[in-house]
Amino acid sequence: MKTKRYILLLVIAIGVFSIAARKAIVADDLVGTWKYLISDVPPEYESGLLVFEQKDNKTVGYVEAAEKNEMKELTVDQGKVTFSTENQSGVFKYSLMQKGDTLTGMIGSQYGDFPIKAVRQAKK
């Protein structure tokens, strides 16, 4: 009877660790610098960088264009990446899907919704 409980606990533990490891691999795959282009906006707002880092076992990041804005409420789940940024122009909500070295999606703001595409930059 004790052996069955031990095996059951072992199976549960392996399952929990494999799920946690899978999420970490997906988040780690996002780490790096991504150059983005936003469609249908004035030229001064159409390009910049998305930078994702791993700190204290957590994915964090910032958007860098004319200024550097921290990503807030950053979530990464099964290839879907969501976060928001805030600056003097308002709040911007990003919803992206990752496929390999490309992120595509939309940015929502008080000015409307705009398509965005980002490509991973080679490590220097």
Would you say the C-alpha torsion 98, 35, 117, 64 has a positive or negative sign?
positive
Domain boundaries, position 52: 2-120
Helix (H, G, I), strand (E, B) or coil at 99: strand
Return mean pLDDT, the chain.
83
Whether residue 16 is predicted with pLDDT greater than 90 in this model: the reply is no
Total domain count, the chain: 1
Phi-psi region of 98 (alpha: psi -120 to 50; beta: other; left: phi over 0): beta
pLDDT computed for residue 54 by the predictor:
92
**pLDDT grade, residue 44 (50/70/90)?**
confident
pLDDT computed for residue 63 by the predictor:
95
List Cα–Cα distances, 45 to 102, 105, 116, in angstroms. Answer: 20, 16, 11
Q: Which two three-digit tokens encode residue 94? A: 């990003």
CATH number at 63 reads: 2.40.128.120
The pTM is what?
Answer: 0.75
Q: Over the stretch 58-76, which tens digit does the pLDDT of each residue have?
A: 999 999 988 899 999 999 9
Neighbouring residues of 38: CB distance < 8 A, sequence distance ≥ 6: 45, 46, 47, 107, 114, 115, 116
Q: Which of 15-29, 53-67, 75-89 has the lowest mean pLDDT?
A: 15-29
